[in-house]
Amino acid sequence: MSEDKPSYDSNKMRPAAKVREVLRISATLEKPHLAREIILEWLENDASTELPEPAWKGNAFHHESNDRSFRAVRAKGEASDTWALRFVEPGDAETEQVWTTEIATRQHSGQESLFSVRTLVKSSEPKLRNQPAVPRFMEHVVGECGLEQGAAKIEKDPWIIESDYDAANLTEFLVDPDRRTPAFVLTVAEEAENPIEPLIEASPLATDTLGIAKVIVLPAEYTWKLTNRFGKRLSVYRGALRVYLPGFREDTDPEGGHDLFMPHRMDTPETAARLGSLLRWMAARESLKRMRLDQEILPFASVLVPSIEFETEALAASKASAAKQLASAKEHLGTLREELKAALQMQQWLTEETKFLEGRVREAESRARSSGRSGSRPPFDRQRDRPPRPRYSSYDSDRPERQSGGFNRERRFGTYDRDRQPGGYERQSRGYDRDRQAGGYDRDRRPRGHDRARDSEESDHDSPSGGWDRRSR
């Protein structure tokens, strides 16, 4: 029987590889030439190869080595100078992973230079298993060039709050409208042995999210600064962790994505690892959402087209031979075809992601509607669910004492006279005389101008207790 069983062809059943974008980094820097040299040195050492001479001069080049590809383009104009590098390396062979890193710098006359990094992966796996992490050369660039995002400086190490001054700066940083990346605030419990060591390791998290998130360690003695500024609903303390997304304000809805993770989510190595992975993915997705292409991020393709125009004009100006110009045109045409194919694959992935998210939204809305119709607790009906009015055989003896938080008959149906004796109840009506003496209740509406003092004396005489005279009924 085993011979009749059809064989499984893994190559035919494996899904087609698709291109995904993983993360984006955008910042400004003062030394773009130094940043370019640091990146080229790191890539050369990591790939164990030697890059050609045009690479070190900031010019266009193409280099292949050990299944790795390096390609740089440059577009230079009167007001700007843009350089872009694409580095491609293989990943997991089983899932046919191919990782692509795009780096770009743009210099404008009289302005700070723009620096951007973009990471993509081509893989056949339906869900990417690798945790997102920024390229390792970012540590060297940050350490030597100094990158800034808005008013904040990108730093390799976590920001540890060490004084009231730092805590006050933290509150201002969280509400800064120019903040571009999420802030991970890791608090330390009061009973912790080390006052600056949270349950989840801060340094590896800061390294993997360098440029896409800000990691802050908040000791217990300074957590009250956040509580005083934002209230308990938007604060974080006692070893918990909160994510403050860009755009956070004092009146922000706590359910608006600023997630709070309690200590039990990271009290063991396994739970801490899962939460760390979740935070890395959260930072990567936020970078895709907030860093816009062709504005904060310079894609390689957007620099490739003007660089081709620049090279074509340079060849024509140098009066190169027709054969040389034709060969250059064919090379550029092949490059553009590859870019078009990659763009179509990216468009297909974005379409599938959009459909998936729309399906998740429809599923959540369907669950919400079904739970509202068939839930164990039906919607509240004011007329149906109104508690019955208590009825008593006599006014004083059978009436139970009102408990705090219970049904307040005086507040619901009448007014309460603090000067009356216990058991007296005054029911509001249109014939109520606010100027009468305590204890007199005129049930029949009297005409205007009657003798209020005489009525009061008669009422006191008929009812020695000063309360309501049942015989008047």
pLDDT for the residue 440: 42
- Can you give 347-375 as a three-state secondary structure string? HHHHHHHHHHHHHHHHHHHHHHHHHHHHC
Return the domain boundaries, the chain. Answer: 12-149+294-363, 155-267
On whether the CB atoms of residues 402 and 409 are closer than 8 A, the answer is yes
Q: Checking DSSP bridges between strand 61-65 and strand 68-76, what pairing results, if any?
A: antiparallel
pLDDT for the residue 352: 62
The tokens describing 433, both together, are 């005389």
pLDDT for the residue 80: 85
| Architecture of the 155-267 domain | 3-Layer(aba) Sandwich (3.40)
Q: How far apart are CA 108 and CA 101, in angstroms?
A: 23
Q: What are phi and psi of 88, to 5 degrees?
A: -120, 130
Task: Tell me, yes or no, if the pTM score tops 0.75.
Answer: no
Q: How far apart are CA 183 and CA 217, in angstroms?
A: 11
The tokens describing 389, both together, are 């009015």
Q: How far apart are CA 19 and CA 24, in angstroms?
A: 15
Residues of the chain with pLDDT under 50: 1-9, 373-382, 384-387, 389-473
| Beta-carbon count within 10 A of 395 CB | 13
**DSSP at 283:** H
**C-alpha to C-alpha distances, 449 to 438, 439, 444, 445, 453, nearest whole angstrom:** 19, 20, 15, 12, 11
Please state the separation of Cα 46 from the chain's center in Å.
Answer: 34
pLDDT for the residue 13: 55
pLDDT for the residue 67: 87
Specify the amino acid at residue 19.
V
Q: How far apart are CA 267 and CA 30, in angstroms?
A: 42
| Beta-carbon count within 10 A of 205 CB | 21
On whether the CB atoms of residues 28 and 147 are closer than 8 A, the answer is yes
Digit-coded pLDDT (tens) for 83-101: 999 999 988 777 778 999 9
Digit-coded pLDDT (tens) for 11-55: 555 667 788 899 999 999 988 999 999 999 999 999 999 999 999
Task: Collapse the DSSP code of 272 into the 3-class scheme (helix H, G, I; strand E, B; otherwise coil) and give the result.
Answer: helix
CA dihedral over 457, 459, 464, 466, signed as positive or negative: negative
